[in-house]
Amino acid sequence: MPRPPGSDGGERARIATGRPIGSRVDPSPKASAGAVAMPAIPGARPWSFNCDTWTVEPVSRKKHARRPADRFGTANAGKCREARPRAQGGLMRHRAWTFVSFRVLLLLLTLVVGRVLQPVPATAATQLLPDMRMAELTTIKADKTTIPGHRLLRYTAEIVNVGAGPVEAQGSRPDTSTQTMPVVQRIYDDAAGFTDVPSGTHMFWAGDGHNHWHLSDMEQGVLTPFSNGSQVGTSAKEGFHFADGSAFDLSLPSAPQTKRYTACGGKSCNIDALSVKEGISVGWGDIYASGVALQWIDITGVANGKYVLTVTADPNGYFEESDTTNNSASATIRITSTNVAVLSYSGGA
């Protein structure tokens, strides 16, 4: 607090400094060598600013620890900087290195966090595709009784599935007035999922004396002369009812030990059905015996001689498979006026 002139405090200040009150005050003898004189305040006790200890001291040596900025602002800090100059170049280099280090650390932290938070791509599921093949042809014979005046070449054919998954056909229609059902192939995968793929075939009802839904053109028999590939006859059967007819190789991976697709299962024997499911499991076969309706090639008028009978599963490639190069089986035969003799077999699962 300022004291009135002539007060005891002012007298002591005058005696201690040897100067009139209000004049510039030199540091006291016991003040630090780095002390800087403070401007005098009229009617107040003189003070000195100590740059070494960063304190403000009255000349009376009664110390009051205050920062200069608290009472006198930043002006005296500038005086200290003048009294004790600092190495500005080193300071700037230190600040520059600190800034660069911070930027590098921030960049590394961003990369690490980005790597940790980056989503792990899901492993794509593997499709379990079927692999349709023809088993070895059997019961190849001539038939002169089914159609009077005609000679027919009959044979037993079996479509087998040796792939990783079933061959499954799903047919559907909007109402009962629609006569056919477009078909999609259902392909399963190893993640317990499936994909429905449109196929080029369709389902139709009966047509061969069998009261069930058939898949169109899923097997074809062709007869060609042994000496050249010109066709002389094709199979009459156009509809096929897929089912697990007989066990073929139940040691295959994923092969069920019992039938999964049964005859008349999946609504295939219901004429009013709006959806139908048919198929062949892994390790199973769908057999078409030589006596089945339309399971023949009309060879009426075909000259006697040596021929090749070739039967192919899915000849038009309607269904996706793991291998489409092994779908055929054949037999070399000799046709005479009285019978048919098998000379050799080729292909076949």
162-174 burial code (b ≥16 CB/10 A, e <16): bbbbbbbbbbebe
Residue reference for tokens 């490639």: 317
> What are the counts of helices (DSSP H) followed by strands (DSSP E) for the chain?
4, 20
Which of 318, 328, 141 lies closest to 220 in space, CA to CA?
328
CA distances to 25, 184, 255, 261, 321 from 163, in Å: 106, 18, 9, 16, 8
Angstrom distance (rounded) from CA 180 to CA 183: 9
Angstrom distance (rounded) from CA 312 to CA 310: 7
Contact present, 321 and 236 (Cβ < 8 Å): no
Higher pLDDT, 239 or 42: 239
Q: What is the mean pLDDT of the chain?
A: 81
Angstrom distance (rounded) from CA 243 to CA 267: 12
- Residue 169 host element (H or E): strand 167-172
pLDDT tens for 82-96 read 444 455 556 566 566
Contact present, 125 and 317 (Cβ < 8 Å): no
- What six digits make up the tokens of 284? 């199973």
pLDDT tens for 10-25 read 444 444 444 444 444 4
Q: What is the pLDDT of residue 28?
A: 47
pTM above 0.85, yes or no: no
The DSSP code sequence of 222-247 is: EEEETTS----EEB---EE-----EE
Angstrom distance (rounded) from CA 222 to CA 238: 13
Angstrom distance (rounded) from CA 167 to CA 321: 9
What percent of the chain shows pLDDT beyond 90? 60
- What six digits make up the tokens of 285? 């076969």
Angstrom distance (rounded) from CA 17 to CA 23: 10
- Tell me: pLDDT of 254 over 50: yes
Q: What is the pLDDT of residue 72?
A: 45
Among 106-110, 117-121, 220-224, 319-323, where is mean pLDDT lowest?
117-121
Give 9's contacts (C-beta < 8 A, 6+ positions apart): 3, 45
Higher pLDDT, 271 or 73: 271
Q: How confident is the model at residue 209 (pLDDT cuts 50, 70, 90)?
A: confident
